[in-house]
């Protein structure tokens, strides 16, 4: 999912903060990477382009992984972290997690974007309970943006050693909070959000 992920909370967030969001490479309206790149550098460049020296970073899922990598690389640019079901790079995925992803994307191997979108829209780890409106939105967004399903990330250069080995010894990091992946209602007052979308913000003065 790209920047549309945050549409339902965008208006209330913008009413209180200066906010910027952008699609990571290969997602939404952003072109896929053609050469190796560093995701933390992309975020840093976006912040500097709009003259934001320091911001709250909110990361959801793989965006949480980028948020963690970013704060380790640029702690001076991060006011706070708010993490929702974050990936932690370097932490092995379970067999169940890998199998789940493989099963959901089986139709894509046959060019069936709609079938793949339906599988992900029914995934209980993406949407809890029986929220049919949310499931339809996931289905529609992925069907209309099939590039979101094909980002492999092979050109993205990740830090070494990975975050999982560095967090315990890192110093000077901001306070961070972690919530489950289904806690969407808790982000309505945040100033910056990252999913496969990145958003950068500074409080209004």
Domains of the chain are 3-203 (3.40.50.1820)
Distance of CA 174 to the CA centre of its chain: 19
What is the distance between the alpha carbons of residues 16 and 132, in angstroms, rounded to a whole number? 30
What is the distance between the alpha carbons of residues 110 and 197, in angstroms, rounded to a whole number? 27
Contact 164, 88 (CB under 8 A): yes
| Range 143-161 average pLDDT | 93
Residue 8: per-residue pLDDT: 86
- Of all residues in the chain, the percent with pLDDT exceeding 90 is 56
| Range 30-40 average pLDDT | 95
Higher-pLDDT residue of 181, 105: 105
Q: Does residue 189 surpass a pLDDT of 50?
A: no
The helix or strand, by DSSP H or E, that contains position 19, with its residue range, turns out to be strand 17-23
Give the ranges where 74-112 is alpha helix by DSSP (H). Answer: 95-104
Contact 148, 120 (CB under 8 A): no
């Amino acid at each position: 999912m790209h920047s549309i992920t945050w549409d339902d909370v965008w208006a209330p967030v913008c009413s209180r903060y200066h906010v910027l969001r952008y699609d990571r490479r290969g997602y939404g309206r952003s072109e896929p990477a053609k050469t190796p790149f560093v995701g933390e550098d992309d975020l840093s460049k976006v912040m500097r382009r709009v003259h934001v020296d320091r911001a709250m970073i909110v990361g959801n899922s793989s965006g949480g992984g980028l948020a963690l990598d970013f704060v380790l690389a640029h702690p001076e640019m991060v006011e706070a972290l708010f993490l929702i079901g974050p990936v932690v790079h370097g932490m092995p995925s379970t067999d169940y997690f890998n199998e789940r992803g493989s099963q959901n994307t089986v139709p894509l191997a046959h060019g069936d974007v709609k079938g793949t979108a339906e599988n992900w829209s029914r995934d209980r780890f993406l949407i809890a309970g029986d929220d049919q409106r949310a499931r339809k939105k996931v289905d529609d967004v992925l069907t209309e943006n099939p590039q979101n399903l094909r980002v492999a990330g092979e050109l993205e250069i990740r830090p070494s050693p990975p975050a999982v080995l560095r967090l315990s010894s890192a110093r000077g990091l901001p306070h961070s909070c972690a919530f489950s992946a289904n806690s969407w209602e808790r982000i309505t007052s945040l100033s910056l959000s990252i999913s496969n979308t990145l958003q950068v913000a500074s409080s209004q003065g």
